[in-house]
Structure 1
Amino acid sequence: MIFDGFMIAGTIVCAVSVLLGLWSTARHRFPTDASILSLAAVELFLVVYGIAAGVRQSGGETLVGAAWEFWGYLATAILVVLLAGWWGIGEKSRWSNLVMAAAGFTVFVMLFRMQQVWIGQGIF
């Protein structure tokens, strides 16, 4: 599979978010600014990724898979991060860190799938 710069950047941003969430959960801490801001960084990445994908697609690049599938994954990923951030801000327990970490991992899996839809190459 060919990974572009967006996939590499997304992997890094999601990994940092997951690690901060797991670290805060293991240390029995309430959601800190760092874990909430790391989730905000994932959201910002998704917005930039969506804008860049729209520009690329309107510029003539075609998706190998279905366009509705790619944009559906992107919209769902944005909603997952928003809901996890809302949960993390609303519930001040150590387990909300785990929810935010799970959101970062979920977005990574969705980015991987969006990459497959865009390029059309599977891992298997």
Structure 2
Amino acid sequence: MTFDGYMIAASLVCAAAAIAGIIATIRVRHAADSSIIGLALVELFLIVFGIGHGLMLAQGHTMAGPGLEFWGYFLTAIIIPPIAFFWAVTDKTRWSNLIMAAVAITIWIMIWRMNVLWYVGANTMFNL
């Protein structure tokens, strides 16, 4: 699998958001601003990721896997952070921070799968 700039950026953003959420779970008794900001950065990254890949397709690049699966992953990934945000705002416990950390990790895994679909194809789930 190719670790392009998007994959490296996703790794950094999602790791920072997950670490912030885990630390906030340990230290704070409510949804922390650091967890919410981390989740917002993950969502912002997903928007840039979608625009970037849309532009690459418009310029003639092709993906190795099925486009429907790639964009299905993308649409699912882009709606998960807002759901976690509204959960965190209404839950008001320390565990909402852990949910936001888990969402960041989940989004990273989904981006990894989209990267596999883009460069390798659909039949090779664990190629590195």
Could you state the TM-score of these two structures normalised by the residue count of structure 2?
A: 0.92
Residues 1:82 and 2:62 are matched in the alignment:
no
Match of 1:27, as an amino acid? Answer: R
How many residues end up aligned between the 2 structures? 124
Tell me which residue corresponds to 1:21: 21
Listed one character per residue, the Cα deviations across residues 43-90 of structure 1 (whole Å, up to 9, x for unaligned) are 000001000000001110001000011111011011111111111122
> How far apart are 1:33 and its partner, in Å?
1.3
Mapped to 2, the partners of 1:28 and 1:42 lie a distance apart of 21
Give the gaps of 5 or more residues in structure 1. none
Tell me which residue corresponds to 1:98: 98
Mapped to 2, the partners of 1:29 and 1:110 lie a distance apart of 29
Mapped to 2, the partners of 1:28 and 1:48 lie a distance apart of 31
Matches within 5 A, 1:45-64: 45-64=45-64
After the TM superposition, list the runs of 4 or more consecutive aligned residues in structure 1 that deviate by more than 2 angstroms.
Answer: 121-124
Tell me which residue corresponds to 1:69: 69
Q: Please, which of 120, 124, 127 is the counterpart of residue 123 of structure 1?
A: 127
Could you state the TM-score of these two structures normalised by the residue count of structure 1?
A: 0.95
> How far apart are 1:107 and its partner, in Å?
0.2
Mapped to 2, the partners of 1:29 and 1:90 lie a distance apart of 14
CA contact (8 A) 2:73 2:114 kept: yes
> How far apart are 1:35 and its partner, in Å?
1.0
> How far apart are 1:29 and its partner, in Å?
2.8
The percentage of counterpart residues that share the same residue type is: 44
